[in-house]
Chain A
Amino acid sequence: MNEPTRFGTVTPEVVERLSAILGAGGVSVDGEKIAVYSRDEVAERFWDRPYRAEVLVFPESTRHVSEILRMANERRIPVTPRGAGTGLSGGAVPAFGGILVSFERMNRILELDTENLCMTVEPGVITAEITRAARKAGLLYAGDPCSGDASFIGGNVAENAGGNKVIKYGPTGSSVLALEVVLADGSVTWFGGKRRKDVTGYDFVHLMVGSEGTLGIITKIVLKLLPLPAFGVDLLIPFPTVEAAIRFVPRIALEGRVTPASIELVDHHSLSQAEKFLNTRLPFDQAAAHLIVQLEGNDREVVADETERVGKLALEKGALEVFVADNRSSRDKLWKARKSVAEAIMAYYQNYAKEDLVVPTDRVPDLLFAVDALCRKWRMEAANYGHVGDGNIHVNLLMADDRPHWHEDMEQARQELYETVRQLGGTLSGEHGIGLKRKAYLPQFLDAPQLELMRRVKLAFDPNGILNPGKLVFWDKKTGEAGA
């Protein structure tokens, strides 16, 4: 078990077997198609080489997934599960080739159970579809990643996606009640159930959540739903300094006595990119930072009272102005700006590092001061935005110039940044995941006993290491890397 793994390869016979399982339409060896599916939102030039699957499959049922895994396990062929490819960690990149499993055909909402306030879905359902289906029944699915219009729920669960409503509702995992999982050898089991409490055994549900496809493959998901708040309002609050904006955040709970559904920060540089990208203008766009504070409730007057309380408080704490968006068109406008920052940065910069740092919320200003210093030292720019309510800041290091050794400079700068984050009591990734992109930095944040424990967990679930190799966990002792 501890020998370096020799992965099996996908022979024509394997393709034939897969076709027998899935039908000819469920298997593709078309090189162009495989190339498209072999990546996520991480630009390919960030990798040391292009990674390609050997075969691409489209299962339509749990049985399909089970048979694929049984065969792959027998032949030691790597299996990489893939959602919509909106990930930012290289999690869906087939680092060791093998079989790439796309869930786009397992995209049914199987049940909306209003009595138990839950919904059972297949992993290929688009997150926004779930939100819409729940809303139709007057219910709320609280998961709200920024890529939700495109992402699959399976990917959200596997990466424990965060998003905009974490401070009130928690990340994706908080909404997961149960999972049907195909284990590495093809056996199928259910973790959890339509139950709000469960101490019968280990909490495998929340071990699976965020395991990035390294422990098993999720084929059904039971999601928790909540009553849909009748009214919502977004406050757009420009501040003269980023620090003033961040210092205001804890005041909302302490003095404003409310828990907003979201508190988002967009700094000036991020906002300019989004404005340019959308060709729109938000008010006070010269301000150093904008906060978006979302309040919700069932009584229009109560929400209006809270809006006034939080708004006045913001003005007392130095806000330049407070704008109130309580109808769809203006709410859409400001969220569109917030949600397009990531895409805008990719559109305008070639050389960048998108980080997903988390620090204790009171250390966010220190983190951002450090980023400033780093930028001066390395002649870079930074665009900082994100879920400031939960201390999760997307620091983006940007190089406007096209220096020859940009990769090395960026690497150095990142190392220094990570060291600062560690000292501030923070960590590497809040919601994007470790995947292929951040795995090498894991030992800076997790100690040896913990890494060893992760390894043992991995091997308990997947003794042959076929499940999404190369991601998240170091399980092969001899090489310190996964196989090959």
Chain B
Amino acid sequence: MILLKIAVFLKQVPDTDEVRMDEKTGTLIREGVGTVINPLDQNALELALSLRAAKGGSVTVVSMGPTQAELALREALALGADEAVLLCDRAFAGSDTWATARTLAAAVRKTGPYDLLLAGAKATDGETGQVGPETAAMMGLPFVSNVCAVEIRAEGLVASRSVEDGTERTRAPLPCLLTVVHEINEPSMPTLAGKMRARRAPVHVLSAADLGLNPEECGLAGSPTRVVRIAFPKVTRSGLRFSGNELDRGIALVAERLDSMGLLGQKRPARSVDSARSPEAVRPIRPIELAWEEAFKNDPGGGVLVCGECRNGSIHPSTLELAGKARELADSRDSSVTVVLPFGHLDDDPDRCIRHGADRVLAVCHPALSLYNPDVESRLFAALIRRLRPEIVLAAATTSGRTTLPAVAALVDTGLTADCTGLSIDPENGDLLQTRPAIGGNVLATIRTPSRRPQMATVRPRTFRLPPEDPSRRGEVYRLTPPERFLLSPLVPLGRETRQEEGTPIQDAEVVVSGGKGLKRPDGFRLVEELAAVLDGAVGASRPTVEAKWIGYPHQVGLSGKVVTPRVYIAVGISGAIQHLAGMQTSEFIVAINRDPEAGIFRVADIGLVGDLFDIVPRMAGAIKARKEAQR
């Protein structure tokens, strides 16, 4: 029997199902709202308890927060955790993810060592998902994010991680850190005996001094990032509402609008939006081979570095979007844009990055890079950042971007802002202003990294529209092959499986049609699928339908699922709980179908159709089909 000493990081978060919105200011009302253990942390705890049951060992729960966070820890004790540690000190207040990770790392060193560290993949309030990877990187531990299944072996463990279009399997040694997603298990309920024990058990409280941390290294003082501005985007749209005899007019208007958005034309080639490589204009750039050791040793530094992403031999559209945005930022700083493309093989043309705005492309090529390895990738980016000393580093907020970049930030000792939807240069001081939705998209926080470089941000895919390629742009393409020893890693990617039946991943789709409990039965989703098929869109779902397992978790839209920003979002039988609205309200055009005229979803809808969805959806599908036919 292996004895596993496990620590679980718990965050206490406001109960998003109780959060309400102030209609006037568009802000969340948090008063009187209960707190709960962050749902994904509950899954992490459940995993810890089941591993202990199978393998023996102990489970320690660790939380950083005010004294009230003790409640979350006691719930964990009631569920069976052996020890509870509360990191509580006024000096911890205002921590960003970097400072939080640093504090947690100190706590682990103080109370450990542990064989396994576990946390939820993200919290429902901050939604950064950065603390886990940052903590692991600071401690020099291998980690796997978004884990949906785990198997303990004699020599370590094998984790499956859930990614946009399937799962990846990775072998990891112990000790390591895992962040888990909802599918991994179903949290249990505490027993009376557990509750009684937890009520009387001690919770160990540790201060900054106990952890050997200087107050300047913690909390706000120790945080590389600063919130400089909070804005309250108005969530209410001037929606048109149709019901009864008016429904036909509403449906026609939807079809018209979809048409004017260019969504009913000829079926476009899937996803890679602009494979429009007009051959006559493009002269290929001859790549320059560079030796790893010597490459960019004496680079002048500065500029914008884009950490690119290649999947299945092609450049991910988000990389090109970022090249364009980086160009804009670099121009206002009079500097250059470098795109790094790590890949095992590439069928795509790296010159496209240049035509989208880059000055140079570093094609980092090695067969070992064909499967995602956050350890190798983060060390690779960190090494290049040290050599190139960029002012700004950008990456897409994809599953892998949001896994790699926190580790990179920890390795190069700087702040990182997750999932930005706006980037600009402060004309006063030249700093990067990083804007991201927070608290479920109801707040827009603008963040700065005043005293450390580079300034790093992950950017939500599809935030910046992909401009057409500029064939006249010139630049350099370098090819680099990292040496074998650089690619040695404690993590061993074992393979990936692409989900077959699930269709387009919801984050990548231009059109998302989502279903809610109004569909009444699991097979109600057929209606949603049919409408989605007419629009070449993806199928989304509300949390209750996923919880009822009418449809899989990858479809879940909302704070506890995926945040999506498609061009069109059609909500079918979804009432519009705050936590759902937070996941879709930044979509360009929103249609809501619900029989309850008071449903919250109508507040964010451009067009609301009030009535029986079983009647409206087929009519809408018919109207759209008819309009498509007419186009041919």
Contacts and interface: CB of A to CB of B under 8 A. Distances in A.
Interface of A: 25, 28, 36, 107, 126, 129, 136, 138, 235-236, 277-281, 283, 304, 307-308, 311-312, 315, 321-330, 333-334, 347
Given A129-B598, A283-B188, A307 B195 contact: yes
B474 interface: no
B39 to A, nearest CB: 7
10 smallest CB-CB distances across A and B, nearest first, come from A279-B549, A311-B192, A322-B192, A323-B189, A324-B195, A330-B189, A278-B548, A327-B36, A324-B190, A328-B15
A253 to B, nearest CB: 19
B37 A324 contact: no
A330 B78 CA distance: 13
A327 B191 contact: no
A330 B191 CA distance: 12
Interface string B19-38: 01000000000001010110
Given A280-B186, A329-B42, A347-B521, A324 B548 contact: no
Interface string B465-501: 0000000000000000000000000000000000000
Interface string B543-561: 0000111100000000000
Interface of B: 15, 17-18, 20, 32, 34, 36-37, 39, 42, 75, 78, 186-192, 194-196, 199, 244-245, 521, 547-550, 596, 598, 612
A328 B598 contact: no
A283 B548 CA distance: 17
Q: Which of B188, B191, B550 gathers the greatest number of chain A CB atoms within 10 Å? A: B191
B245 A323 contact: no
Contact of A315 (B37, B192, B244, B596): B192
Contact of A327 (B32, B75, B245, B612): B75
A279 B548 contact: yes
A323 B195 CA distance: 9
Nearest to B612: A36
Given A236-B189, A308-B192, A321-B191, A329 B39 contact: yes
B189 A324 contact: yes
B188 A328 contact: no
B189 A281 contact: no
Given A281-B186, A328-B15, A328-B36, A323 B191 contact: yes
Contacts of B196: 308
A138 B32 contact: yes
A165 B203 CA distance: 36
A280 B549 CA distance: 8
Nearest to B15: A328
Nearest to A334: B189
Nearest to A277: B548
Nearest to A105: B597
Contacts of A311: 192, 195
B38 to A, nearest CB: 11
B20 A136 contact: yes
Given A138-B32, A280-B186, A281-B186, A327 B37 contact: yes
Contacts of A278: 547-549
Nearest to B549: A279
A329 B36 CA distance: 8
Contacts of A324: 78, 189-192, 194-195
A304 B199 contact: yes
B361 to A, nearest CB: 47
Contact of B191 (A36, A107, A322): A322
15 contacts: A107-B598, A138-B32, A279-B548, A281-B186, A283-B189, A304-B199, A321-B192, A323-B190, A324-B191, A324-B194, A326-B75, A328-B15, A329-B187, A330-B187, A334-B189
Contacts of B17: 328
Nearest to A138: B32
Nearest to A310: B192
Nearest to B194: A324
Contacts of B548: 277-280
